[in-house]
Amino acid sequence: MQPLTGVKGMNDCFAPESGRWEWLEGQMRGLLHAWGYSNIRVPVVEPLQLFVRGIGEVTDIVEKEMYAFEDKLNGDQLALRPEITAGIVRAVIEHSALYNGPLRVWSIGPVFRHERPQKGRYRQFHQLDVECLGYPGPDVDAELILLTRALWQRLGLKEGEDIHLELNSLGEPAERAAHRAALVSYLQQHEAQLDEDARRRLHSNPLRVLDTKNPTMQALVDAAPKLLDFLGPESIAHLDGVRAVLDAAGLSYTLNPRMVRGLDYYNRTVFEWVTPHLGSQATVCGGGRYDGLIAQLGGKPAPGIGFGLGMERLLLLLETLQLGQGAVALDAYAVVPDGAPLGTVLPLLAGLRAKGLAVQMHAGGGSMKSQFKRADGSGARFALVFGADELARGEVNVKNLADGSQQAVSFSALAAWAASVAP
């Protein structure tokens, strides 16, 4: 029978690659904990309407990229989440989670978009999603940006060189309406240069035209009326507030009036971290403020801001730059010749694990030669040999698999040895 294969654009991940994921997720968890953010877990499947109402009907995500389907058992219209923010907002409303005050939360998990798969662009990918709900800003806007910067620093990315911040303000609905009128009239004057998408969106969602990826429209879009020029005093003060904190923190950025982001719910602060190393998959992390979303989804009005970070893109970037080599890996592989008394071996291994070593025991028997081959292939730094002679002497033979050197370590000295080599 022909074996089944996975769905196009959806990837499997084995060690050692999965070790890099674990390592990265661990770095993120540690950082988020240190900044006072708590974990939230929400479903991968949500009602389709959540995304139609939240992200906006006339967006690439909802028009072309969403995995929407009918539940065959009850006819419900559902979707695989194309992003995590809407689900978190839905959950927060449903559980009145803002009742006791504002929230800072994070989640890491899969999201789904039916795009053309290529390097850094998949149909199932993963996001770190971080949200601050109930905070009007601009202090928290700047905090989120500085949090991402702290992550780059932790990972060894060079700010400004490997990754760069772009910032914009999308203002408030009234300011957008005034800009929209100017934008529509500008685009109408150049209608001949518009592609099919742009022509369709000219009236339904003209701001989206600025989000085009079509290279032949870039010049047109660059010269279009800028939303920044339509901001009122409060939106300007908000943007200035964010900028003041970033300036004080010595973070340099580009003010990019063309950045509109691919989702309709944003207002005021929007930002992206872009890299020159990943071609057209340049955005590693993007986010913004969504002060209207909670009310729009039926909740008591409250402001919000958050970002989504593409895990695969960040891992690709780290790999390109040879960073993040501290992947989670095995420390030791236990070679147990046939007949070795596991009643003696297992407590010794447990003692090593208690000292923080990752230890895998050989299972399934086999010659010493084949077991050493497994030890080499495991990626472990050490092989621990529990031969009959060693055990009789109350010792383990420790072989350094990198340089081949060996030493006998007595059972009583094993804990001290583990401490000396612990990662």
Residue ranges that bind ligand ATP, judged by CB under 6 A: 83, 113, 115, 120-122, 125, 127, 262, 281, 283-286, 308, 310, 312-313
Q: Which residues contact 353 (CB under 8 A, 6 or more apart)?
A: 359
Q: Which is nearer to ligand ATP, 171 or 308 (CB)?
A: 308
Token representation of residue 397: 């033979």
Q: Which is nearer to ligand ATP, 279 or 341 (CB)?
A: 279
Per the DSSP assignment, residues forming a β-bridge with 38 are 105
CB 153 within 8 A of CB 201: no
Distance of closest approach, residue 156 Cβ to ligand ATP, in angstroms: 19
Q: Which is nearer to ligand ATP, 66 or 228 (CB)?
A: 66
Distance of closest approach, residue 83 Cβ to ligand ATP, in angstroms: 6
Distance of closest approach, residue 299 Cβ to ligand ATP, in angstroms: 22
Per the DSSP assignment, residues forming a β-bridge with 106 are 39, 130
Distance of closest approach, residue 115 Cβ to ligand ATP, in angstroms: 5
| Of residues 121, 170, 130, the one with CA closest to residue 150 | 130
Q: Which is nearer to ligand ATP, 230 or 266 (CB)?
A: 266
| Of residues 400, 380, 420, 406, the one with CA closest to residue 15 | 380
CB 336 within 8 A of CB 362: yes
Distance of closest approach, residue 45 Cβ to ligand ATP, in angstroms: 18
Radius of gyration of the chain (CA): 27
Distance CA(216)–CA(196), nearest Å, equals: 12
Distance of closest approach, residue 64 Cβ to ligand ATP, in angstroms: 11
Q: Which is nearer to ligand ATP, 138 or 262 (CB)?
A: 262
Q: Which is nearer to ligand ATP, 235 or 283 (CB)?
A: 283
Distance CA(422)–CA(403), nearest Å, equals: 18
CB 308 within 8 A of CB 85: yes
Per the DSSP assignment, residues forming a β-bridge with 307 are 130, 287
Closest residue by beta carbon to ligand ATP? 310
Distance of closest approach, residue 184 Cβ to ligand ATP, in angstroms: 23
| Of residues 399, 411, 394, the one with CA closest to residue 331 | 399
CB 114 within 8 A of CB 80: no
Q: Which is nearer to ligand ATP, 179 or 313 (CB)?
A: 313
Distance of closest approach, residue 309 Cβ to ligand ATP, in angstroms: 6
- Residue-by-residue DSSP string for 370-393: HHHHHHHHTT-SEEEE--HHHHHT
Q: Which is nearer to ligand ATP, 56 or 286 (CB)?
A: 286
